[in-house]
Amino acid sequence: MTTTVITGAGGGIGRAIATELADRGHRVVVTDVDLAAAEATVAQLSTQHVADHWARRLDVRDPRAAATVAEEVDAAHGLDAWVNNAGISAMVPFLDVEPAQVERTLSINLAAVFTCGQAAARVIARRGGGRIVNIASMAGKQGRVPYLSDYVASKFGVIGLTQAMAFELAEVGIRVNSVCPGYVATPMQDRELIWEASLRDTTTEAVRDLYLRDTPLRRLEEPRDVAKVVAFLLSDDAEFITGEAIAVNGGAFMD
């Protein structure tokens, strides 16, 4: 039985990852800055394989809280895997981005991947090995993205950090990979559609159409598209993959 912690899993992609992993027989520890949202995710997980999925409040900016979650889960079940999914975005033209926004974006999207990754790896290494997946972005591979400069910086950082973690943690048996989604229909995208429509002086429908036309497979990405790739990376089918940044974007960006 694999026990996996997911951050920011009170909605969007994190909730889809929790659902996919529970369906595949993982015990899932759903964490989010909003405990009620985490509990709502747990309430809809399959209990076919595991009856006791957990919900915990975790603000990923708090390294001590991350360590507590890792230790608590390990003591109860043994911690096998950790998914750093929590992330934020705000669309603002580069010249108008305030220092406080840069600090907030980098702290949640990048520094927290670092500190949560440490918390997870310390515990998983003690057990003799496991897996970590970091959710990066298509915007971690190309900066040609409007009004998301701080986000782009954070996600390029996640891909580099993933490689550094994979390199150092290989010797303690931990595989570390990142996943790079494209235009995923989540609450984050709903907010971005409104911001981008306003910044381009157009409608949200027109922006959504832009995303569609930018995607050769001609549909918006679903959270489950990402979740299935995370499940693969956590599985033994990926046992010789580490340090990778797997694109899952319908062809919207090919590198």
Closest Cα to residue 234, out of 80, 120, 127? 80
| Binding footprint of ligand NDP, residue count (CB under 6 A) | 29
- Does 130 engage in binding with ligand NDP (CB under 6 A)? no
Q: Please answer whether residues 8 and 37 qualify as being in contact, where contact means their C-beta atoms are separated by less than 8 angstroms.
A: no
156 near ligand NDP (CB under 6 A)? no
CB of 184 to ligand NDP, least distance (A): 4
**Which stretch, 70-78, 114-122, 166-174, 187-195, contacts ligand NDP (CB under 6 A)?**
187-195
Pick from 7, 19, 178, 215: which binds ligand NDP (CB under 6 A)?
7
Q: How many Å separate Cα 225 from the centre of its chain?
A: 13
Separation between Cα atoms, residue 55 and residue 37, nearest integer Å: 9
- Active-site pick, 147, 151, 183, 211: 151
Binding residue for ligand NDP, selected from 90, 170, 188, 199, defined by CB under 6 A:
188
Q: Does the annotation mark 211 as catalytic?
A: no
Give the separation between CA 247 and CA 180, rounded to whole angstroms.
Answer: 5
Instruction: Return the structure tokens found at 169.
Output: 């943690």
Exposure string (b/e) for 118-129, b if CB count within 10 Å is 16 or more?
A: ebbbebbeeeee
Euclidean distance between CA atoms 84 and 45, whole angstroms: 19
145 binds ligand NDP (CB under 6 A): no
* Interface with ligand NDP, residue 157, by CB under 6 A: no
Binder among 66, 83, 108, 229 for ligand NDP (CB under 6 A): 108
Q: Minimal distance in Å, beta carbon 128 to ligand NDP?
A: 28
Residue 113 CA, distance from chain mean position? 9
Among 4, 6, 14, 161, binds ligand NDP (CB under 6 A): 14
Angle at 120 between CA 116 and CA 123, to 5 degrees: 145
Residues forming the site for ligand NDP (CB under 6 A): 7-8, 10-14, 32-34, 37, 58-61, 85-88, 108, 135, 137, 181, 183-184, 186-189
> Which positions are catalytic?
151
